[in-house]
Structure 1
Amino acid sequence: MKRTTPAIVTGALPRVNLMPRAEIERRERTTLARRWGIGLLAVVLVVILAVTGAFLLKWAAQQRLAADQLRTTQLLTELASLSEVSQALQLRAELNGFRADAMVSDLSWSELFADLAGALPGGVALTGFDLTTGAAPATEDPATEVGLAGTLELRSATPIDIAPAVRALRQVPGVTEIDPLEVTSQLEGGEQRTYVYRLDATFDQTLYSGDFAEEATG
């Protein structure tokens, strides 16, 4: 059996670590502290980036919210202006309706009162009235619809038999019904007594002139 002899290396200096153990440990601690510092710095940077990103997202959300609120305010302002326009249009429609009603119910008041006064007996005067015009014609027969309704006031210096006066007034064209309501008397000018007769009166729509009917419905 052949025996091997270890080779002897010559010409190389032996390597001996002459650094004290304390210095080695200090360097290891320094290296470890540096690594921890780098890691901590990286964590801080990550946190800063995360906080900055969150702040930017919050700022962007606030900007969008402010823009949405501004848009909402503008829309509310526009709606308010449209509401005013709607109210104005509604008022205009109502006024047009009133105008149409007034035009279709036009009649000759002076002619009506002249006819009523002409039917009264001597010494009796038509001194007052409280009459309201009726609605627009709804049928083709104006004699069946109410054109005026309210009260009439008659005065005389002496008592009269109201029944003949009522019958005479009922013959006036356009009169539908005349009925006595009350009779009162009052002193005027000291000893002068005046008798006041209030009558319930209804007239049909034959009194309407129809002069503005086409314009009102046009």
Structure 2
Amino acid sequence: MSSAAINASLANPRVNLMPRSELARRERDRLVRGWVWGVLGAIVVAALIIAAAFWLKYTADQRLAAEQARTNNLLVELASLGEVSQALAAEQELTAFRADAMAVDLAWAPVLAKVTGVLPGDTTVTGFDFAVGAAPTGDDPTMQAGITGTVTFDSPTPLDIVPLIRSLRGVEGVLFADGQSLSSDSEGGSYSYLLNVIFDQTVYSGQYAVAEEGGE
């Protein structure tokens, strides 16, 4: 220390006359104030955390209420569409039933036209007896029997039945054709022929078949 500083300190002497008890009290007061501010700070922080938690819960409840209201609205809309769904289901069921019931639907006129188309012009079809076969199974319809029966026709002159049957076998949709019987009246003025014929399932109309998914 310099001589000037020593002289200054000697010229202005300082003596702490504060009692030790007062110093201790002031120290305690400082500690108490520190603890009080610390507790107050902790309370404020805790209050902020609690407020934030309540705010998050409030906003979550609001979102939940909105989603529940949306769900209820959707349920109401679905309930209102219940009758439409039932009607569509009934329509599909009836369509499937009709498809099964009408699977062997056909028009007789085109079938007879296939037979009469190979007969001579002076012949007359006098009768036919056909029985419808099984419903389509998805196999090749040209290999499955559709209708089976007989056709009777009259001719004023005797016919060579062999080429006629061959012609009938070549008709589209005919799986089998053959002669069964021949008869004539006592005077020989009319001849009656009875043919056996089997058509494939292409003679079915398919009008009521249910369209497959993915089809046009």
| TM-score computed with the length of structure 2 as normaliser | 0.49
